[in-house]
Amino acid sequence: MKIKGLYNIPSQDDFGMTLARGLLEADLDLADALILLPNRRACRSLQTTFLRLREGESLLLPRMVPMGDLSDEDAVGESIAGGIDPEALPDADLDLPDAWPKLRRDAVLAELVAYKDQSLPPDHVMALAQELARLMDQIETEGIRPDRLPELVQNEDLADHWQKSLLFLSILYDVWPGIEADAGLISAASRRRRSVENQISQWELAAPRGPVIAAGSTGSIPSTRNLLAAVLALPQGAVVLPGLDEDLSADAWREIGREVTHPQHGLTELLQACDRDTGDVQRWPCSGTGEREARTRLLSRAMLPPEMTASETEGWRSKADPALSPGAIAKAFEQVTLYELDDDDTEAKTIALALRDGLDRPAFVSALVTPDRMLATRVRGHLQRWGIEPDDSAGLQLHETPTFKFARIVLDLVSSRIDHFDLLALLHHPLCLLGLDEATRQRGRAFLDLEVLRRTASGQGLTPLQDWLRANPAKPGAAQAHAVLDRVVAATRALRETAERAKDDPHWTAFDWLLATMECVEALTQSPDEAVGSVAWAQTGSEAMVAFVNEWAQALTERGLSAARAEGASAAEGPLAERLLPLPTFAALLDRAVQGVTLRSPFLGHPRVLILGGIEARLTSVDRIILGGLNEGTWPAETQPGPWMSRPMRREFGLPSVERRIGLSAHDFCQAFGRAEVILTRAGLVDGGATVPSRFIKRLLAFLKTTKSTAVLDPPGLCFETAAQSIDAADQPRGARPPRPRPPLSARPTAFSVTAIERWLKNPYEIYVKHSLRLRPLDPIGGRVDAALRGTVIHQALEDVVRDHPGPVGEDYEAIVFKALHDGFRASGLTDAQVALWQPRLAKIAAWFSQTEANLRAGGRHSPAIEQDVEHRFEVEGIEYCLRCRADRIDRDAQGNLHIVDYKSGSVPSGKAVAEGHNPQLSLEGALIGRGAFDGIDSGAPIHSLEYWQVDGKDAGGLIKTVPNKKDGPDEIEAVINDSWSNLLELIAKYQNPDEAFKVRVVRKGDYTHLARQDEWEGRSVGND
């Protein structure tokens, strides 16, 4: 059987398997054959298929070469052109210049963009340069002369946007040809196109001896279409099309020729380029009708152009066609399932379960096909719960490599002036070895986490951390923390010091920042073994990272851009590569520079769990195919014309319509639909936003609804959606009951503060946790910056002022109070925004406090006790107890009466709560005075008032609230004090009973509500934690 001409393998057939069978059965010498395939993965897949068909027997395989397509940067080029005879083509340019390295071309274009508009920040300049490079590639791919660009825009009254676009586009025809000539380089797209042209010329002069077969390409770019046409013209040339629809009528083909979004439109363009029509296409040997032919025919009918859907013979409502009966449709779609999931995570779980399920069947291959890389990443993450690493054809993005991620953590840390969370991210990163042994790193990291970073302000640099460690050298773990922190300080010093100076006066170029970042990464990733050195360059993708750094460094330091310099001679800021940048600008520029830099995965994943693109799926043999991310804007992708040209301008210039990509996506969808088992998935919410179903799904559902067969896509038998929803679910737990701990007497508290008595009365469980279990809540990372911290700062400031400035109040007293408050806020770790927000309130507090002090001191009142710590020991039923107290201040008036004062920056207790003993703090302080606990305070002195000074900065700035009642005299206050002491003794005696439980009470806010599992026994959020 001779192979010659134009062939088709229908979409219901396994393309790779059918192609290999046909080649093995054909009358040709495989070893002498050349097979052109869309990309390298297709070549590997076909090799594997040959081996499977021969069941391991030896076979001289044909030469398989990737021809390239939209998804593959490595097209035909050198692979085919390597055999060209220079003497046979004396007029051909066989010695093609090298292609531009991506980063070098981006850097040169960025220089030119910066010269055109010096107001753009560097990262925006790089983004525009990359967009300009994409447009350049499109122009080169289509073989269009860029000097036609000025003809597009001749209206001087165009909007500023288009005028600026034309300014940038002038780079392509005014400047770029000279730069390419000086550099001796051409674009990769131009080199690919010219290589193919040379090969075609060679074939025209001397046809190859063996057969040449091009298979699997839709001819989506002109050079590929020309190549396929040249193959057809060879004596032993054959082209094998993927999924040409053989059942369409001539009327349908005419409509498809005008409808660029139809799955078959690309193939019509290819047939026209080859000067063929559908009648010239033969069925490939070994391709049969197949059990899935009915399904693909129905899908073809569903995808008909709108003008054809009402056709009486081919349309959706053709009554004479038995294939449109509900029974026939149900049988055809028996192995097709549609899952419309709630959100993207549920979709990823459903897909992962479907891929995992396939492994339970011998030799069963499952594949996810999706253009949504975020969905693919989620699926990979869920597969890891079973230890499955899929074989992902997309490879690895440079920004996903461990070394690059670590470098970005370093830049984030320095940019944030050592944000504590960024520092923990650095220290916990597996690459952060610091040249220390594991025990030292772990101990030091834990001490920094639990102690230092919770007692120092975040974002204030490393000095506060070092100061805290110097002030607490004896604590266990401090020495190891010193070792860890010293390494971080030394490694980041250059970056930190320059970043701090660069806020107002940048000193470094992008190259300087890049070099310093790499030096910092090397220092932080030093292994304890000196022979190993830095582990940063021994990670997955580290070779690509090294190549990126070298290439970008060369691009940033290159000075041979004479044409670019001449173009921008009047630029005020000079070359982009020589601009001095602050660190955040460099970080944004770095992120932009790595966009689109992809490396092939250095390892192969599971051979039966695949993640593929549309072209890869076309030639890969799979048993179950999952088409994921079927939402509009994802599959098909958004069709934006780009920043440079409108749709009419693109059409006039000769660029293909952006909607053409919809047709290519539709062909990938239809091609995959012919596999044995098909699962379609989409998510109603992606990243929290609502989505619209893909037009392919909507069209398929509309067709099934018209034929009254919508239910055929419902999941049969095992429903992966149900499994996904329950995979992480647990049985409904039984809600906890309120805890009633009864510790032994030896574990019950015997020492407490007066403020603890209030907490004891309100919630005994808190006393049990704090005193019996000795548990304390951890301070938040970066220290406390809440209302409690503000209250502490205000307390301390007022107490310091009163202590340091006794006597009559001077004219500058208000300024002294304000300065103490403001300095306390600044030193507390509160953010600049919080300090600025509180500044008016601090001014009110200072004014009110100074006036109040002036009035009281004028009347003879002074403060003999300020922040005095006391304790009083006493016995209850033979057990000694200790009551501690720190009084904010105790004042004495001219008559010798005492006034107990407590500052409050928040709400104050009511007089009733104090009288009834619910808030006994001040009354217990009075009881301690009566028992002689305070030095310098006469125990017999009458207590004239219990005062809460509310200093919150609201209204007048503060107020004095006398409790229980402003009219109460010394006798009433003495009675409250005596009652509070009696209540204390009763409370202690009550809990000396071993059977008395420290019951938990409902509180809306507290440090121990989670430990008490309050939400559970109140009937909230059971099972959520």
Cα 68 to Cα 79: distance, rounded to the nearest angstrom? 11
Q: pLDDT tens, 810-858?
A: 889 999 999 999 998 888 767 777 788 889 999 999 999 999 999 999 9
Tell me: do 35 and 48 sit in the same domain.
Answer: yes
Among 21-25, 52-56, 163-167, name the one with the lowest average pLDDT: 163-167
pLDDT top residue among 74 and 331: 331
Q: With residue 408 as reference, give the H or E element that holds it.
A: helix 402-415
Q: Cα dihedral angle (175, 180, 181, 184), rounded to 10 degrees?
A: 160
- Percentages (nearest 5) of helix, strand, coil residues in the chain: 50, 15, 40
Tell me: do 285 and 356 sit in the same domain.
Answer: no
* pLDDT of 540 above 80: yes
Domain-located, residue 665: yes
* pLDDT of 122 above 50: yes
Q: pLDDT tens, 920-973?
A: 999 999 999 999 999 889 888 999 999 999 999 988 999 999 988 877 788 889
Residue 805: partners with Cβ closer than 8 Å, 6 or more residues away: 813, 816
Tell me: do 435 and 532 sit in the same domain.
Answer: yes
Buried/exposed code over 902-939 (b: 16+ C-beta within 10 A; e: otherwise) = bbbbeebbebeebbebebbbbbbbbbbbbeebbeebee
Among 247-256, 349-358, 753-762, name the one with the lowest average pLDDT: 247-256
End-to-end CA distance of the chain: 69
Tell me: do 468 and 502 sit in the same domain.
Answer: yes
Q: What is the mean pLDDT of the chain?
A: 86
Q: What is the pLDDT of residue 564?
A: 47
Identity at 106, one-letter amino acid code: D
Q: pLDDT tens, 90-110?
A: 444 557 888 888 888 888 888
Both structure tokens of 343: 């959100």
**What share of the chain has pLDDT > 90, as a percent?**
42
* Burial class, 804, CB count within 10 angstroms (exposed 0-12 / middle 13-18 / buried 19+): exposed
Identity at 249, one-letter amino acid code: S
Domain-located, residue 1003: no
What is the count of structural domains for the chain?
A: 5
Tell me: do 86 and 106 sit in the same domain.
Answer: no
pTM for the model stands at: 0.81
**Where is the domain boundary, 131, 158, 185?**
185
Mean pLDDT value of segment 980-990: 94
pLDDT top residue among 164 and 93: 164
Q: In 724-861, at which residue ranges do the beta strands (DSSP E only) sit?
A: 751-753
pLDDT top residue among 978 and 156: 978
Q: What is the pLDDT of residue 480?
A: 94
Both structure tokens of 635: 């599959």
* pLDDT of 753 above 70: yes
Tell me: do 68 and 208 sit in the same domain.
Answer: yes
Tell me: do 610 and 666 sit in the same domain.
Answer: yes
Mean pLDDT value of segment 306-326: 71
Domain-located, residue 452: yes
Domain-located, residue 984: no
Mean pLDDT value of segment 675-683: 93
Tell me: do 261 and 375 sit in the same domain.
Answer: no
Domain-located, residue 947: no
**Where is the domain boundary, 185, 209, 236?**
185
Tell me: do 275 and 419 sit in the same domain.
Answer: no
Domain that holds residue 477: 399-553+570-593
Domain-located, residue 306: no
Under a CB-based contact definition with an 8 Å cutoff, are residues 681 and 627 in contact? yes
Domain-located, residue 117: yes
Mean pLDDT value of segment 749-778: 91
Residue 676: partners with Cβ closer than 8 Å, 6 or more residues away: 292, 335, 623, 624
CATH code at position 607: 3.40.50.300
**Where is the domain boundary, 691, 709, 726?**
726
* pLDDT band (50, 70, 90) for residue 77: very low
Cα 283 to Cα 880: distance, rounded to the nearest angstrom? 101
Residue with tokens 């090799």: 47
Q: Say how many C-beta atoms besides its own lie within 10 A of residue 361's C-beta.
A: 12
* pLDDT band (50, 70, 90) for residue 238: very high
Tell me: do 586 and 657 sit in the same domain.
Answer: no
Q: What is the pLDDT of residue 1020?
A: 64
Tell me: do 802 and 837 sit in the same domain.
Answer: yes
Cα 114 to Cα 94: distance, rounded to the nearest angstrom? 35
843 strand-pairing partners: none
* pLDDT band (50, 70, 90) for residue 319: low
Tell me: do 383 and 432 sit in the same domain.
Answer: no
Helix (H, G, I), strand (E, B) or coil at 931: coil
Cα 515 to Cα 519: distance, rounded to the nearest angstrom? 6
Domain-located, residue 72: yes
479 strand-pairing partners: none
